[in-house]
Amino acid sequence: MTQKLYYENQYIKDFTANVVSCEKSEKGYEVILDKTAFYPEGGGQPGDTGFIGGAEVTDTVEKGEEVVHICVSEVGGEVGCSIDADRRFAFMQQHTGEHIFMGFIHKMSGAENVGFHMGESGVTVDLSEFVTAEQLDEAEKLANEAIYKNLPVKAVYPSSDELENYDYRSKKEIQGQVRLIDIEGVDLCACCGTHVAFTGEVGIIKIVSSMKYKKGVRLTLQIGRRAFEDYAAKHKNVHSISVALKAKPEEVSEAVDRIAAQLYEERSRYSALKKEMLALKTADYSGRECCVFDDGGSADDARILSDMLAEKVEIAAVFSGDDENGYKYAVTSRNEDVREIGKKMNAVLGARGGGKPEMIQGSVAAKKAEIEAFWKENI
């Protein structure tokens, strides 16, 4: 049975141990030490990484009573070991933060955390019951107040008799010795993970998203160092937006609303002008057919313009685009079946498209001169 240093002192990052066994497996080398500070994956907390001797440890898992380190190369004898302490401390902050936050949510609503995940970029929590936005705000506020109070975070190991007197949260039925994490007045929860010694070390707890999930709510929290990194990244973003919009950082939201409203107005004006312009363009056309080029126009422009032209001529073709990027076309007629024209364009010009008897649409990579020549010869 591996001696679990992480339960004796969760802050140990460097230690010396003896290799008990080192066996090759498909994941690498599975190394068991006589004692370890590497926390094995469990209770929603990922396994530690680091080094054993010169060998990188990519993961740590528990197998029965043993802690198994997944190493990239072989090790033996007495080895110096070090865990990735920054990564582990971030998990300790996140884990403790989850206890504090859930303690208040649980008291408030009776909701349990039924899906807990600590990732490299944040913590997700699935609540078993629905809680309101106001309750979330209140729990977040109380959780941060508990951080400021710098309360001790204790691990207690009650006997099975004593356990009956405790009212504690638990994520699952536990066999054998129960380990309770006690934050007085805040939370009491059965947990096998690693935690900070005082709530102050958690730093900050912030809900960054919440959505309805099954019967309850799925939350994403930023806690501790991750919360700081999240704040720094968001601050940078707001600063860039503030500079771009020439607005104070605290007023960027109003500035974006203003710009969106302006854009909507401009777009409406633009489409009105476009319609007027198209009406002018179509004013002079008459006769059996026409082939019009709308430089730089879009597929929509081609469709609208050809539809307007079809009021004036029997067969109206519009090619929007340019020689370099090709053309989007629309051919419209009120009385004739234009699908034959589409087939010819596909065959002769290598166009792609088709449609209904009264309108065909598509694209063609040919040059303006080629299209005009085709039209003259065939239509």
Q: Which residues bind Zn ion (CB under 5 A)?
A: 95, 191, 193
User: What is the C-alpha to C-alpha distance for residues 309 and 315, in angstroms, rounded to an integer?
Assistant: 8
Give whichever of 191 and 315 is closer to Zn ion, judged by the CB atom.
191
Distance in Å, CB of 252 to Zn ion, minimum: 37
Count CA atoms within 13 Å of residue 242 on its CB side: 10
Give residues with Cβ within 8 angstroms of 106, minimum separation 6: 112, 169, 187
Distance in Å, CB of 133 to Zn ion, minimum: 26
Calculate the CA 137 to chain-centre distance.
22
User: What is the C-alpha to C-alpha distance for residues 172 and 346, in angstroms, rounded to an integer?
Assistant: 67
Give whichever of 91 and 329 is closer to Zn ion, judged by the CB atom.
91
Q: Which residue is nearest to Zn ion (CB)?
A: 191
Distance in Å, CB of 163 to Zn ion, minimum: 17
Distance in Å, CB of 190 to Zn ion, minimum: 9
User: What is the C-alpha to C-alpha distance for residues 308 and 319, in angstroms, rounded to an integer?
Assistant: 14
Distance in Å, CB of 44 to Zn ion, minimum: 8
Count CA atoms within 13 Å of residue 291 on its CB side: 14
Give whichever of 139 and 191 is closer to Zn ion, judged by the CB atom.
191
Give the β-pairing of 315-322 and 289-295: parallel
Give whichever of 198 and 285 is closer to Zn ion, judged by the CB atom.
198
Distance in Å, CB of 80 to Zn ion, minimum: 29
> How far is residue 133 from each of residues 62, 139, 210, 364, measured CA to CA in Å?
38, 10, 9, 54
Give whichever of 118 and 316 is closer to Zn ion, judged by the CB atom.
118
Give whichever of 31 and 100 is closer to Zn ion, judged by the CB atom.
100
Give whichever of 191 and 349 is closer to Zn ion, judged by the CB atom.
191
Q: Where are the beta strands (DSSP E) in the chain?
A: 3-4, 14-25, 28-33, 35-36, 50-52, 55-63, 66-71, 78-83, 113-118, 123-127, 154-156, 180-183, 187-190, 205-213, 216-223, 289-295, 315-322, 326-333, 352-356, 359-364
Give residues with Cβ within 8 angstroms of 338, minimum separation 6: 315, 331, 332, 355, 357, 358, 359, 360
Distance in Å, CB of 189 to Zn ion, minimum: 7
Using alpha carbons, select from 102, 115, 101, 95 the residue that is nearest to residue 39.
95
Give whichever of 112 and 336 is closer to Zn ion, judged by the CB atom.
112
Distance in Å, CB of 192 to Zn ion, minimum: 7
Q: Which residues pair with 150 in a beta bridge?
A: none
Give whichever of 122 and 193 is closer to Zn ion, judged by the CB atom.
193
Backbone angles phi, psi at 227, to 5 degrees: -65, -40
